[in-house]
Amino acid sequence: MDKDRVFFFDTTLRDGEQSPGCSMYMAEKLRMARQLEILGVDVIEAGFAVASDGDFTSVEQIARVVRGPRIASLARAKSEDIITAARALEHAGRSRIHIFLASSDIHLEYKLKISREQALEQADQSVRLARSYVDDVEFSPEDATRTDPDFLCKIVQVAVDAGATVINLPDTVGYTVPLEYAELFRMLIERVRDIDKVMLSCHCHNDLGMGVANSLAAIEAGARQVECTINGIGERAGNSALEEIAAAMHVRHDRLPYRHALALNQLYPTSQLLSEIIGFKPSPNKAVVGSNAFSHEAGIHQHGVLSNPLCYEIMTPALVGVPANRMVLGKHSGRHALGHRLEELGFTLDVHEMEVAYSRFIEVADRKKSVYDQDLIAIVHMHLRQVPAAEQRSASTIASSQA
């Protein structure tokens, strides 16, 4: 196994779609899956085949059409789920059955109402059954981060011995913190026999806002698959955001020296497509793909960015597929940003005119949240009586033709 390679497992179409308001029709799922293929994800979790006829059809169609990534279907540790997942994946170029079974005492007692011994038996039987259908089986002890460490090692050992090829440790309720999560992976590496023969995976939720930090900690501790979603969509506070993990690995390659297959310039287009499909965009201040991620209003920041973008941008907009950074003119903007935008509009002002324009600009900005181009043009016409050079040339042409 390549120790420097991180595999991206995208669960936008499964875990992400479970978020309220994020459900998709089959055609939309297929469209999204094709874009994920262009993005370069390694695994697409296409759905939970047994959940409904619609989910089965979505998994089946994606498995037929999308040939680059490995296609996965989720399944409980039940024969019906596993057989249904295998049927849905029958036409995939490369397939995976992803089995989950709760391992924490609170889940075993109150949700599944089974003992630890019964859970171990189910883990063994389900993984063996799945391996009879496909050669790639992922096992997830659900709520791993709240599971007794000794029992976690036991159930993982059972899954490895039964033939699991990927062991995933889900932080199902977003409970863990980075150092603690990293220690879980190190514990498995030390205590589980033949763990070096399987791929370790992380799956983090964002309930405490640490999904991405936890995922990166897991990678540093030995996980080589990271499960995430576009825009961080998912149940409750969402999942780890794929674009944030990818950007962090690029910008801080000095601390995260890992390779992957993603086309980073497809991050923003993929985010935009998902927003179009589900009908809402990420928060404006969302890292990497939010509308304000490359926007600047503070005067000092605008001056720095105009002088050298690296002053306030740790990555270029083009890196992630954003068309360009955006200067937002408001009451925090300075003379440099105002002058730059006026020049783009065709106005060249001397020092005195710039002071007049800036004074009027601040007056407008104090009354409005944002100042638009038409406001700037009005300021110049009303207070400086200037006409842009382009308009002057146009007026001269018209006058000459009339003569």
Locate all alpha helices (DSSP H) within 89-197, ordered by sequence: 105-107, 116-131, 149-162, 178-191
Residue at token pair 């690296």: 310
Residue at token pair 């205590």: 191
The fold for domain 7-278 equals TIM Barrel (3.20.20)
82, pLDDT greater than 90: yes
DSSP string, 159-170: HHHHT-SEEEEE
Domain definitions of the chain by residue range: 7-278, 297-391
The two three-digit tokens of residue 170, written as one number: 């889900």
Measured CA to CA, the distance from residue 261 to residue 245 in angstroms comes to: 13
Beta bridge pairs of residue 45: 72
Locate all alpha helices (DSSP H) within 99-140, ordered by sequence: 105-107, 116-131
pLDDT of residue 330: 67
Summarised one tens digit per residue, pLDDT across range 173-203 is 999 999 999 999 999 999 999 999 999 999 9
Summarised one tens digit per residue, pLDDT across range 27-44 is 999 999 999 999 999 999
pLDDT of residue 374: 72
CB 134 within 8 A of CB 85: no
50 or 383: which leads in pLDDT: 50
Measured CA to CA, the distance from residue 101 to residue 147 in angstroms comes to: 12
Q: What is the dihedral of CA 255, 260, 264, 270, to 10 degrees?
A: -120
Q: What is the pTM of this model?
A: 0.81
CB 321 within 8 A of CB 311: no
Beta bridge pairs of residue 112: none
Q: Lowest-confidence range among 4-8, 85-89, 266-270, 375-379? A: 375-379
pLDDT of residue 301: 45
Q: Lowest-confidence range among 52-61, 74-83, 391-400? A: 391-400
